[in-house]
Amino acid sequence: MCVAGLCWVTLGSGQAQTYAPTDALQALEPQANTSRSVTSLATTTDLWERIRQGYAMPDLDSPLVHDRENWYTARPDYIFRMTERSRKYLFHIVEELERRNMPTELALLPFVESAFNPQAVSSAKAAGMWQFMPATGKTFELKQNVFRDDRRDVLASTRAALDYLQKLYGMFGDWHLALAAYNWGEGSVGRAIAKNERLMLGTGYTDLSMPMETQFYVPKLQAIKNIVARPQDFGSQLPKIENHPYFQTVSIRRDIDVAMAAKLAEVPLDDFKALNPSLNKPVILAAGTPQILLPWDSADVFMQNLDRFAGSRLATWTVWVAPGTLRVADAAKQAGMTEAQLREINNIPRGMLIKPGSTLLVPRPAHAQVDVTSAVADKGEVSFAPEMVQVRKLVKAGKGDSVATIAKRYATSPSNVAQWNKVAANANFKSGQSVVVYVSMNAANAKPGPAKAQARSTDRSAAKKTSAKGAKKGKA
């Protein structure tokens, strides 16, 4: 079987196959990845049928399943949009499931998790098609930094999700419980099972007391599984998805703007972003993102156009590491940008200072030849500190006050106090003398003068004595 200049060859008598590059693919040289195995292509040309053939989980039949079947079938436009969106990713997921000998209905799980939207973010901050929480993503080696979020990466997140599901199945020995743990957490499911064991109750999925979301979780998947298995029974129409790869992996060796990469591949920018949703910035840093996904027929187009750009400028953005704590306006001036531009491209909120070591995206000078290093591309982050607005305040000096004591009281330096009051750094103040200090706006009333502090201390002491007397009376 050949598609887009690529032919598949059956290996031995089994289903496992690999694909061999034709001359057209060899033109991609070592930059195009063609090592991935392709399985079961000869069985059917319809990917939906291939999924049906791999169903291996026990069916769940319950009122909640029927409820979800009715919900989905009452929304044919929603089902069509979800399934249409899935065509970019579904073949790869089925491939990975078959390679691991896992049930192929798990390829439908992103319908439940995110409606196959790799940019989906939940209210709990779970992200991507497979909806990984930040901590779980890190556990499964999904990089998350200012430049990329692998929880949204098609290849990385699928690998991590299937790793996690395999782990959960190994823990519980039951796919329904594994799915419940994927949604609710392995610890929660484990505790629910232990509780039922103590009460001598059943420990299956439908026996456990779970949150409503988890109660509906497997029924949702079962409902979608049933609709895919028998769309005609539910009045549903699935868009035709061919049983061959949608995308190709291509390596990049130079930093390149996202818009430039899409242009060289001759694909719409939105389509490029849909295949490369992990990118957080308008530039791809080769040291941190060494490969991109392109529509199957666009890989060789990209490489041919890239060859024509040899030596030309591909990236108009680079990374600048803040050398110290900086006001945003000062950082923008050093980077040759307006403050508004720096804030927008780096998502800098108002009222913040940029902390040292922050990696900021800035325009790349025309003469710059060196790309961003892997140390910066892999660990890039932006850290902020609250920007305190200074307010001028007049305070009365107490007996024995000096520049040093005033500075200590208001958490500033003696040189500042001396400068504000035009006196020497070792000067003393007369009792009652007005002294100028500058304090942060939110601390303007936090530092009482000596007299007020003494009065408040006296009030607190008196209150404690009164409270103690009252307590004794009540006890008597």
For residue 202, pLDDT beyond 70: yes
Specify the pLDDT at position 473: 35
Across the chain, mean pLDDT equals 86
Specify the pLDDT at position 121: 96
Specify the pLDDT at position 441: 67
Q: Which two tokens stand for residue 400?
A: 């024995």
Specify the pLDDT at position 311: 77
Specify the pLDDT at position 345: 96
For residue 14, pLDDT beyond 70: no
For residue 207, pLDDT beyond 60: yes
Question: pLDDT confidence of 361, banded at 50, 70, 90?
Answer: very high
For residue 310, pLDDT beyond 50: yes
Asked whether 208 and 194 are in contact (CB, 8 A), the reply is no
Asked whether 409 and 429 are in contact (CB, 8 A), the reply is no
Distance CA 144, CA 150 (A): 6
Asked whether 21 and 139 are in contact (CB, 8 A), the reply is no
pLDDT over 90 for what percent of the chain? 76
Q: What is the mean pLDDT of residues 211-238?
A: 96
Specify the pLDDT at position 470: 43
Question: pLDDT confidence of 6, banded at 50, 70, 90?
Answer: very low
pLDDT over 70 for what percent of the chain? 83
The tens digit of pLDDT for each residue in 389-426 reads 778 999 999 999 999 999 999 988 898 899 899 999 99
Strands 247-251 and 32-33: antiparallel
The tens digit of pLDDT for each residue in 105-148 reads 999 999 999 999 999 999 999 999 999 999 999 999 999 999 99
Asked whether 360 and 371 are in contact (CB, 8 A), the reply is no
Tell me which of 3.40.50.1110, 3.90.1650.10, 1.20.81.30, 1.10.530.10 is the CATH number of domain 42-234.
1.10.530.10
Specify the pLDDT at position 316: 96
CATH superfamily of 390-452: LysM domain (3.10.350.10)
- Which of 285-306 are b and which e, b meaning 16 or more Cβ less than 10 Å from the residue's Cβ? bbbbbebbbbbbbbbbebbeeb
Query: How much is the pTM?
Result: 0.76
Listed residue (426, 432, 425) closest to 450, CA to CA: 432
Who has greater pLDDT, 29 or 67?
Answer: 67
Distance CA 305, CA 264 (A): 6
Distance CA 33, CA 378 (A): 22
For residue 189, pLDDT beyond 50: yes
Specify the pLDDT at position 457: 43
As beta bridge partners, residue 21 has 6
Q: Is 242 a catalytic residue?
A: no
Specify the pLDDT at position 391: 87
As beta bridge partners, residue 438 has 392
For residue 240, pLDDT beyond 60: yes
Selecting among 113, 242, 266, 381, the annotated active-site residue is 113
Specify the pLDDT at position 231: 96
Asked whether 435 and 421 are in contact (CB, 8 A), the reply is yes
Specify the pLDDT at position 438: 87
Domain map of the chain by residue range?
42-234, 317-368+375-386, 390-452
For residue 16, pLDDT beyond 90: no
The tens digit of pLDDT for each residue in 274-285 reads 999 999 999 999
Specify the pLDDT at position 17: 34
